[in-house]
Amino acid sequence: MILTVTLNTAVDLTYAVPALVPHSSHRVTEVTERPGGKGVNVARVLSALGHDTVVTGFAGGATGAQLRRLLGTLPHGPADALVPVAGNTRRTLAVVDRSTGDTTQLNEPGPHIGADEWAAFLRTYGDLLPGAEAVALCGSLPPGIHVGAYAELIRLARSAGVPVLLDTGGEPLRRGIAARPDLVKPNADELAKLTGAREPLRATRDARRRGAHSVVASLGADGLLAVTPDGIWRAAPPSAVRGNPTGAGDSAVAGLLSALAEGLGWHDRLTRAVALSTATVLAPAAGEFDRPAYEALLTRVSVEQHAPAA
């Protein structure tokens, strides 16, 4: 079983409009609604790849109930181990401009989590860890959760002997990386804020020196850069694509985590991650991936290994 943690779950709404024009009214031509939050997106992709997956985190209020209903309707979807809270789960809104393919994203902050609710989550997390092959800690922290929460969860996973991937930003990333996760997957902006370096290789190396076993940096259309004990790797799609990027980074995490659970090497991990993230950009709804595109991309992703990591 692969465990994904989403402390700030969401219901993801995607609106499609013919063209997005500021300061004007719009007629929405298509609406999709999906269970969301970074770790939930990761779990949905893992389940679609055939992995036994469990999602935990928080869900509350009417939106939380809707999130759980949506999870329950997914065919062969992830198991629900979400912890109930008093506050209302957030929503996210992606507005897709059909004329350009660009997406505008609006994210609510999430409910306040009390001390008793955090304690209940820790009990659930501790109960799930012994059955996990790997765990992914994903996304922002909702109000009320202490900034070192991911560092705490990493230490618990390491004590249980479970490989752990961290995908977050800001101070939670800074604290979490010092707890020595097996893998960290920041994007370029998160890396720059963490290290102060804009050059991707320098920033990725610096991030690894801060405690992570391996760092895979997401560089958008340029693919992935990985600094690992086995070397430095670059992986990129065969060509740039346009579409809805919502969930593309989460699909990359799912690719990395699924390949790790299957015991695959870095070449195959990065190939799968880039193919999945690119196929997600090509899908019409947030958090989905275009399966025919994914399967075709598996043979077309470029992966190069460079000198061993310092």
Catalytic residue numbers?
Answer: 250
Amino acid at 82: L
Tokens of 218: 């997401």
As to burial, measured by CB atoms within 10 angstroms (0-12 exposed, 13-18 middle, 19+ buried), residue 97 is middle
Amino acid at 189: D
Spatial distance between the Cα atoms of 270 and 301, rounded to a whole number of angstroms = 9
CB-based contacts of 145-152 (< 8 A; 24+ apart in sequence): 145/7, 145/113, 145/118, 147/171, 147/172, 147/175, 148/172, 148/175, 148/176, 149/7, 149/118, 150/175, 150/176, 150/179, 151/175, 151/176, 151/178, 151/179, 152/179
Please give the DSSP secondary-structure letter assigned to residue 249. H
Q: Count of alpha carbons within 13 Å of 11, Cβ hemisphere only?
A: 21
